[in-house]
Amino acid sequence: MRVPVLLGLLMGMSGCGGMDGGDQQKDPTVTDIPVAYVQRDLPRDEDGGIVMESLEEPVSFQAGARLMVRDSASSRAVARDITTAILGDGHDIRDLTVSYDGSRLLFSARAPEIEDADEDEQPTWNLWEYDFQSGAARRLISSDLRAEEGQDRYPAYLPDGRIVFASTRQRQARARLLDEGKPQFTPLEEGRDNAAFALHVMSADGVEIEQITFNMSHDVAPLVGRDGRILFLRWDNKDNENRFDLYRVNPDGSGLSPLYGADSHDAGDDRTREFLPLSLMGDGRLLTAARLREAGAGQMQPLAIDIDNFVNRDGPLHGRVASQPEQVLPGPAATLDDTVAVEGRLADLVSMDDGSGRFLMAWSPCRLLEGDTLRPCTADYLGQGLPEAPPAFGLWILDPAEGTQRPVVSPRDNLWVTELAVATPRSLPSQALDSVRDEALAEENLARLDIRSVYDMDSRFVTFNTPGLPGIASLEQYRDPSLVTPSQRRVRFLRITKGVLIPDEDVRDIAGAQFGRAANFGMREIVGYVPVEPDGSVRVQVPADAPLGLQLVDADGKSVYNRHGAWINVRPGETLQCQGCHANNSPLPHGRTDGMAPSINTGAPSTGQPFPNTRTDVVGFADAGETMAQALTRLYPEREIPSIDMRDFDAWSDPAPSEDWLLAYADLETLAPATVQCQQQWQAECRTVIHYEDHIQPLWDLPRQADVDGNLQDVTCSSCHNRRDAMNALQVPPAQLELTGEASADQPLQPTSYRELLFNDNEQILEDGALVDRLVIVTDGEGNVVYQTDEDGELILDNMGNPVPVTETVPVASVIRAGQARNSAAFFDTFTGGGVHDGWLTAEELRLLAEWIDLGAQLYNDPFRVPEN
């Protein structure tokens, strides 16, 4: 339903300066409930464009905001400036949230920039609380020193009186840095532009503060749901996913799961939707607004999202019957396009939450400019193609049922109204239940990952074998060792990885080239490996309070499936139950346990019996429904502990294998990327950290000999693949590949071998005693030579009067693809399966190379190993 707007009245009001809306008759529907909002002049950049707050930059600052409070949502109510008297002029104010009893208001504030002060001396965002009854305001963290320890934003009340908020403090993450032997620092988000925000919970007096989420990028905008769990926006930017999804988590940080939107951001034409602000409606739906990244002021569309029944706009939860995941709210729906917003522009929206179905909204009517004259957006003026005038926002009560909207603050040129809050008393949410903790694991700062089957791909049986195994059509068949042997299973291990926190340039100045070929991978470590059991199940201990990634790998150490596009966080002592894997772009629920289909792994068929056709000397019996991993680790808890090496233990084949599969760093002749202690016994802080200079280049420089045509010859990689032969004469490197370790002429911060392996290049030839790019004559589609012409289209002739042909270089493709060992066959096939260098690298060396590539083929995976610039 389109709400009628009295354009003449709006045109008259939009140029006036009265903030109380003039003499309006008392609105009989208005109740004496205070409302609060932030007003300021329209924020503009140096070019005069209107600046919108970006979720990617929560620390951004816009001076000149004022927190305004009215005793009711009426144009006749007096508007009081709360913050100027308390804080002074020039502050920025955001993130208004009302307590459940309607008596108090939380907000974020930041003082203006201090001229000529260093960055670390500038003011930070602080959290404040205002009391509607007394008119008093207090900073939640009273100590100046503690208040300035981080940027604090997005506060919200928890049912028990504590406060959840987003902050760059990250105390637990910083403490882990010390455990890893690194200095403490404030980590950057994955784009490395701003300090990363994580969710924290603190006591009402601001004394006790605990970090509860551990993403590599921002976790922001928490909203407490009716069940006491926290809804929030997570910047999923692993592997360049680059989207803000809705997540949910318990107040203690356990039970983290996606909630809505992972596959609901596409707005067409390469445009991306975001959801903000967030609030709850009386019927339990999420009230928000869809807006485009890089959108202008007021380009948002109000939506009600059914988060109880949908995980995406195309994906209902399993077993739920619901028809509409997203509903565009009736009223002046702003456009998401850059076209004239005929129905006006929306800046913010919140429910009155009084049972009336009404909304408080910051809205600007549509206006056009004819020269310096404002015109209404009628069909006549729109038909003239007049440009849209700058918005003039005001504050309005929208009543969809009545089809009306009433002004609270009249629209005015250059006015920007946002951060709306209504002090309607609400029922306290339920207290969210904390997860059951394994105290022994918690004591070691560990958690547990329990995967039911990696072969469960959105409720489909997928083995990752290409082609599939003849006669094997079900998980029950695939797990049977009498039907499928371990060597026939492509997936053999789960590799657990961890994102590495990156400091700002004041701590360590790292150039983009020093990350490597694909800087979007950042830096990563390997936590360890655990075998995948025949039914696809895994049960393994993992570090708590850390950003973790998962990769399914084959017996050679190459990733088979690396789709997990989000970091996993698990709290100390928590067990995270996972059902299986998720197909790319599938709308089906994944990771949301309240809405997934039953697992295809039904587990053991009966209690007291072994799994069918398995040996009985290891797992003599299982409990009905148990996975193989659950049964094995119940009897042998040490099997939950991961290993730095790829160490398989076959507990199922009958007869037992003569030996277990093992690829060990101890068998390398070069420096291992993990300590001896961690190779012998995995501990919570054990990591595999691979640096190209320390662990990969030595593979090329290691002296090697091999039988070549019956003769034992030196086949040291960097000696053969060199621009100098054994007599030091200049040559074309064999296979157009140079593996020497000196600085590259193309990028001095990277070794020559690194560039040659990972970057496309040009074919070279030896000409007149120098290596030069080979040039070939260009021909057209019919094979005719193409000749050079001048700007007039005339042929260019050489000294002999002959036309000069067009030439081009011959490209040489890189042989390694960063992040994709399995798609780097041009490299690996050389050393296996009858390749020209078959057997010249050991299985352990090829495993190390596969690990390095799958992590992202970085130059360094520790910021403090990078040479200082």
DSSP 536-601: S-EEEEEESSS-EEEEEE-TTS-EEE----S-B---TT-EEEE--B--TT--S--S-TTSPPPPS-
pLDDT at 335: 66
What average pLDDT score do residues 780-786 get?
A: 93
pLDDT at 120: 78
d(CA 754, CA 697) in angstroms, rounded, equals 8
pLDDT at 662: 92
Q: Which helix (H) or strand (E) holds 744?
A: none
3-state secondary structure of 439: helix
pLDDT at 20: 34
Model confidence band, residue 230 (pLDDT cutoffs 50, 70, 90): very high
Cβ-count burial 751-786 (b if 16+ within 10 Å, e if not): bbbbbbbbbebeebeeeeeeeeebbeeeeeeeeeee
Percent of the chain with pLDDT strictly greater than 70: 95
d(CA 68, CA 83) in angstroms, rounded, equals 8
Evaluate whether 408 touches 21 at the Cβ level (below 8 Å).
yes
Model confidence band, residue 593 (pLDDT cutoffs 50, 70, 90): confident
Model confidence band, residue 869 (pLDDT cutoffs 50, 70, 90): confident
Which three-class secondary structure string do you get for 102-127? Answer: CCEEEEEEECCCCCCCCHHHCCCCEE
Paired sense of beta strands 446-451 and 575-578, if any? parallel
Which parts of 703-808 fold into alpha helices (H)? 717-720, 752-758
pLDDT at 31: 66
Peptide bond just before 155 cis, omega within 30 deg: no
d(CA 291, CA 286) in angstroms, rounded, equals 15
What average pLDDT score do residues 567-595 get?
A: 86
Question: For 521-555, what is each residue's pLDDT tens digit?
Answer: 999 999 999 999 999 999 999 999 999 999 999 99
Strand partners, 105: 98, 130
Nearest to 87 by CA among 110, 104, 103, 114: 110
Evaluate whether 398 touches 361 at the Cβ level (below 8 Å).
yes
If phi > 0 it is left, if psi is from -120 to 50 it is alpha, else beta; for residue 138 that is beta
Q: Tokens representing 129?
A: 């609380």
d(CA 752, CA 745) in angstroms, rounded, equals 8
Evaluate whether 771 touches 732 at the Cβ level (below 8 Å).
yes
Question: For 201-216, what is each residue's pLDDT tens digit?
Answer: 999 999 999 999 999 9
Q: How far is CA 267 from the centre of its chain?
A: 19
Q: Which domains does the chain have, with CATH numbers?
A: 30-339 (2.120.10.30), 693-855 (no CATH)
Percent of the chain with pLDDT strictly greater than 90: 77
Question: For 344-362, what is each residue's pLDDT tens digit?
Answer: 888 899 999 888 889 999 9
More confident residue, 255 or 431: 255
Model confidence band, residue 657 (pLDDT cutoffs 50, 70, 90): confident
pLDDT at 298: 67
Give the CA angle between residues 307, 309, 310 to the nearest 5°.
65
Evaluate whether 179 touches 151 at the Cβ level (below 8 Å).
no
Asked if the model's pLDDT at residue 332 lies above 80, the reply is no
d(CA 848, CA 663) in angstroms, rounded, equals 10
Peptide bond just before 655 cis, omega within 30 deg: yes
What average pLDDT score do residues 574-581 get?
A: 93
3-state secondary structure of 10: helix
> What's the mean pLDDT when you consider all of the chain?
91
pTM for this model (two decimals): 0.92
Question: For 96-145, what is each residue's pLDDT tens digit?
Answer: 999 999 999 999 999 999 888 888 788 999 999 999 999 999 999 999 99
More confident residue, 446 or 354: 446
Peptide bond just before 467 cis, omega within 30 deg: yes
Count of alpha carbons within 13 Å of 599, Cβ hemisphere only? 23
Nearest to 725 by CA among 738, 708, 707: 738
Which three-class secondary structure string do you get for 83-96? Answer: HHHHHCCCCEEEEE
Model confidence band, residue 17 (pLDDT cutoffs 50, 70, 90): very low
Amino acid in position 147: A
Nearest to 357 by CA among 805, 29, 17: 29
pLDDT at 738: 96
Question: For 704-761, what is each residue's pLDDT tens digit?
Answer: 999 888 889 999 999 999 999 999 999 999 999 999 999 999 999 999 999 999 999 9
3-class SS shares of the chain: helix, strand, coil, % to 5: 15, 30, 60
Model confidence band, residue 5 (pLDDT cutoffs 50, 70, 90): very low
